């Protein structure tokens, strides 16, 4: 068994096999689309392709209803129209395998042996979930590759590249903006007053703390990332106007999807959609997310990969809208965390099963509501709360059993 696993995870075999399996899935998907009533390809892929078609005719991609992404994605998919519809899917599976390679490189930089690194990144490369998502035509793998690329460059201290990739990833989807907090904390000059001069005046420490943010590296990162983001945004605003800003960014920031989804806030937002408390409740729903992101940034900024994983997991779990697509945002970072977890295989599998059970408990009443017409709103609400509790429990286990790469000073645990 051991020999089989080592054979399978040999570098060339692993990456080739994972690409081949994804390619086979794309081919099968094409066959299923042509012959069966239930389609393999995700509806999003048709949205991207329709938007790309509008671009080839010289029109705005936002003419396609529900296209809520950057025009860059539609531009990248124009070969779908000029060459073959399958181009986009090939691009997504290449990014998917590239993400696996980036995970491998980051793990090596963090001190793992080649064999262990390969075994861990096979958790992504041979995982049916990202395989299915990319081969069905979702663009999540592009963002996974960009985020992992940013982390790799940060680990290797190649700040220019990290900043460019980071600016590009924020342009493509908003959620990586939350990584700005730990990145800024990582790049600042560590305060000389920290831990040493506890009797020093508070204001002096505060000034010292603020002064730590004024350094060359941080300035370089902020200007390059900000520059890339602003250039892309201005260019597309010039081309497509207000509609681009609204559909790509503002819609996601103000999105109040009252239809059922995994979010614990779903039923509350549905019932209060037209009440005068709606705005206040929206703000109240945002507070836990904000507080947790601030605490996570401060507590774990020294281990950027772990911090980003926590950030994304918290962001998704406490968000006002949560669909299964969002899970990939933190699943691509999980392989970076796993080598440092002191959980046994049994405990790990137990947590995984618990996560799936939480989703299953939600999916049951949701199915009966959507496809059978039963009024299961209350059950869906309770299942949503339960899923949040399950996610928090899993995060608590991960944080409690995490051993960082280097052995920094940790405060005494009571």
Partner 1 sequence: MYFVLFSVLACLLTCHCVVENGEKDENHCGFLKQWLEYTSVSVEISNKGFHREVVNTVELSPDVLSGVRVLLVHRWPNGIYIDPYQLASLRDHSDWQILLDSAIDLEVPAHKTSGFVTYLYPTLDEQTPNLLKVTIPIHGRYHEPSFVGKTSTSVEIQTPELLLRSKKCTQLNNFEPHTVVDAPCTVDNSSTCPWIKIQHQQGRGHVSLQFPVGDGSLMKPVCGGTLLVTMICCAALSKLMWKHQIV
Stretch that binds partner 1, among 112-120, 177-185, 231-239, 288-296 (CB under 8 A): 288-296
Q: Which residue has the tokens 């806030």?
A: 265
Q: Is 379 in the site for partner 1 (CB under 8 A)?
A: no
Min CB(371)–partner 1 separation in Å: 4
- Can residue 389 be called a binding residue for partner 1 (CB under 8 A)? yes
Please, which residue, 202 or 410, has the CB nearer to partner 1? 410
- Total of residues contacting partner 1 (CB under 8 A): 66
Nearest-angstrom CA–CA distance, 32 and 61: 28
283 part of the interface to partner 1, by CB under 8 A: no
Which tokens belong to 83?
Answer: 């060459």
CB of 221 to partner 1, least distance (A): 21
- By beta-carbon proximity to partner 1, the closer residue of 51 and 101 is 51
Q: Which residues pair with 341 in a beta bridge?
A: 402
Q: Within 34-53, which residues bind partner 1 (CB under 8 A)?
A: 39, 43, 46-47, 50
In angstroms, give the least distance from the CB of 139 to partner 1. 18
Phi, psi of 402 (to 5 degrees): -90, 130
> In terms of C-beta density within 10 A (0-12 exposed, 13-18 middle, 19 or more buried), how is residue 35 classed?
exposed
Cβ distance to partner 1 smaller for residue 235 or 367: 367
> Mask of contacts with partner 1, 299-338, x by CB under 8 A?
xx-xx------x---x---x--------------------
288 binds partner 1 (CB under 8 A): yes
The stretch near partner 1 (CB under 8 A) out of 132-140, 203-211, 254-262, 347-355 is 254-262
253 is a site residue for partner 1 (CB under 8 A):
no
Stretch that binds partner 1, among 24-32, 123-131, 236-244, 384-392 (CB under 8 A): 384-392
- CA–CA separation, 142 vs 221, rounded Å? 22
Q: Does residue 68 interact with partner 1 by CB under 8 A?
A: no
Which residues does 73 contact at the CB level (< 8 Å), separation at least 6? Answer: 48, 51, 139, 142, 172
Examine residue 276 and tell whether it contacts partner 1 (CB under 8 A): no
Does position 364 bind partner 1 by CB under 8 A? Answer: no
Q: Is 170 exposed, middle or buried (0-12, 13-18, 19+ CB in 10 A)?
A: buried
Binding of partner 1 at residue 238 (CB under 8 A)? no
**11 in the Ramachandran plot: left (φ > 0), alpha (ψ -120 to 50) or beta?**
alpha
222 binds partner 1 (CB under 8 A): no
272 contributes a contact to partner 1 by CB under 8 A: yes
Binding flag, residue 15, partner 1 (CB under 8 A): no
Query: Could you say whether residue 372 binds partner 1 (CB under 8 A)?
Result: yes
CA-based nearest residue to 164, from 154, 156, 174, 155:
154
408 is an interface residue for partner 1 by CB under 8 A: yes
111 is a contact residue toward partner 1 (CB under 8 A)? no
11 vs 252 by CB, closer to partner 1: 252
Question: What residue ranges bind partner 1 (CB under 8 A)?
Answer: 39, 43, 46-47, 50, 65-66, 195, 257-259, 264-265, 267-268, 270-275, 277, 281, 284-285, 287-288, 291-292, 295-296, 298-300, 302-303, 310, 314, 318, 369-378, 381, 385, 388-389, 392, 395-396, 399-400, 402, 404, 408-411, 413-414
């Amino acid at each position: 068994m051991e020999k089989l696993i080592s054979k399978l995870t040999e570098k060339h075999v692993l990456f080739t096999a994972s690409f081949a399996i994804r390619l086979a899935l794309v081919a099968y998907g094409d066959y299923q689309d042509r012959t069966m009533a239930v389609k393999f390809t995700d509806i999003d892929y048709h949205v991207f392709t329709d938007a790309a078609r509008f671009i080839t005719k010289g029109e705005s991609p936002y003419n396609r209803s529900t296209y809520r992404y950057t025009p860059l994605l539609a531009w990248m998919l124009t070969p779908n129209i000029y060459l073959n519809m399958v181009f986009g899917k090939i691009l997504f599976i290449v990014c998917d395998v590239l993400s696996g390679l980036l995970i491998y490189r980051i793990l090596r930089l963090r001190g793992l042996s080649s064999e262990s690194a390969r075994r861990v990144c096979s958790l992504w490369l041979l995982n049916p979930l990202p395989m299915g998502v990319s081969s069905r035509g979702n663009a999540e793998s592009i963002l996974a590759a960009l985020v992992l690329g940013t982390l790799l460059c940060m680990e290797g201290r190649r700040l220019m590249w990290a900043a460019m990739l980071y600016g590009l990833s924020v342009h493509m989807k908003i959620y990586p903006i939350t990584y700005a907090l730990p990145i800024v904390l990582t790049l600042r000059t560590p305060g000389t007053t920290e831990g040493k001069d506890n009797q020093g005046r508070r204001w002096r420490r505060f000034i010292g703390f603020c002064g730590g943010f004024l350094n060359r590296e941080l300035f370089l990162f902020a200007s390059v990332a900000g520059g890339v983001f602003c250039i892309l945004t201005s260019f597309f605003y010039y081309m497509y106007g207000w509609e681009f800003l609204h559909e790509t960014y503002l819609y996601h920031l103000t999105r109040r999807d009252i239809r059922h989804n995994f979010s614990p806030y779903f039923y509350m937002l549905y019932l209060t959609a037209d009440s005068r408390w709606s705005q206040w409740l929206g703000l109240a729903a945002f507070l836990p997310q904000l507080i947790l992101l601030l605490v996570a940034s401060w507590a774990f900024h020294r281990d950027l990969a772990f911090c980003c994983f926590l950030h994304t997991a918290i962001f998704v779990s406490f968000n006002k809208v949560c669909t299964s697509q969002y899970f990939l945002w933190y699943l691509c970072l999980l392989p970076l965390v796993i080598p440092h977890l002191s959980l046994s295989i049994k405990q790990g599998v137990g947590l995984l099963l618990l996560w799936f059970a939480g989703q299953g408990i939600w999916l049951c009443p949701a199915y009966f509501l959507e496809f059978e017409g039963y009024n299961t709103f209350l059950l869906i609400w309770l299942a949503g709360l339960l899923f949040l509790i399950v996610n928090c429990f899993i995060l608590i286990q991960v944080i409690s059993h995490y051993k960082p790469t280097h052995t920094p000073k940790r405060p005494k645990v009571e």
